[in-house]
């Protein structure tokens, strides 16, 4: 099925059905984001990362529904005003959950980067030469200093 055919099929759905499908997808997306936020707060980065494919799929599905709802706005407001109001409340819940999720992600990233910076500094300090050179300063031997640290940014 082509993208145009999928859009036409969505746009031709009965008003209540389109709103219910959008709201179900929205609720599932909010739930997955809540699970991810909970795991991140607990420090379970790997477990949280396993939710990414489902979160991405649900977000894409919701965007498709939301665009269809926007295109069909006048018809939906006439035929299913209660469903549209319910969908709007669900969208507000999504916005709240997204803000919390992004805040926790930013905190996790900052903590991780701080830990890696501290580890790199300690590793670098341990490898420094502890002898004095001709000028009375501690001589740094570049061959034994820390050569860096690898970071996997996938998480």
What tens digit of pLDDT does each residue of 5-20 get? 888 888 899 999 999 9
Does a structural domain hold residue 55?
Answer: yes
How confident is the model at residue 127, as a pLDDT?
56
Whole-prediction pTM value?
0.71
Beta strands in 11-133, from DSSP E residues, in sequence order: none
| 150 located within any domain | no
44: which DSSP letter? -
DSSP 53: H
Rounded CA-CA distance 35/39 in Å is 6
Residue 35 lies inside a defined structural domain of this protein: yes
Any domain includes 131? no
86 domain-assigned: yes
Count the domains in the chain.
Answer: 1
Cα torsion at 113, 45, 89, 6 (round to 10°)? 110
At 68 the pLDDT is: 93
Flag whether pLDDT at 22 surpasses 90.
Answer: yes
**Is residue 24, in this structure, part of any structural domain at all?**
yes
Range of the domain at 51: 3-126
Residue 137 lies in a domain: no
Q: Is residue 23 part of a domain?
A: yes
């Amino acid at each position: 099925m082509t993208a145009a055919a999928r859009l036409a099929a969505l746009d031709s759905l009965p008003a209540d059905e389109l709103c219910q499908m959008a709201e179900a997808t929205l609720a599932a997306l909010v739930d997955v984001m809540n699970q991810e936020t909970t795991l991140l707060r607990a420090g379970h980065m790997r477990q949280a990362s396993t939710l990414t494919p489902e979160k991405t799929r649900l977000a894409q599905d919701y965007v498709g529904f939301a665009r269809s709802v926007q295109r069909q706005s006048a018809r939906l407001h006439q035929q299913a005003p209660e469903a549209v109001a319910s969908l709007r409340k669900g969208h507000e819940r999504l916005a709240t959950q997204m803000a919390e999720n992004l805040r926790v992600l930013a905190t996790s990233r900052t903590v991780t980067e701080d830990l890696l910076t501290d580890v790199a500094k300690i590793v670098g300090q341990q490898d420094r030469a502890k002898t004095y050179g001709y000028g009375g300063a501690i001589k740094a031997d570049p061959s034994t200093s820390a050569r860096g640290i690898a970071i996997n940014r996938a998480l």
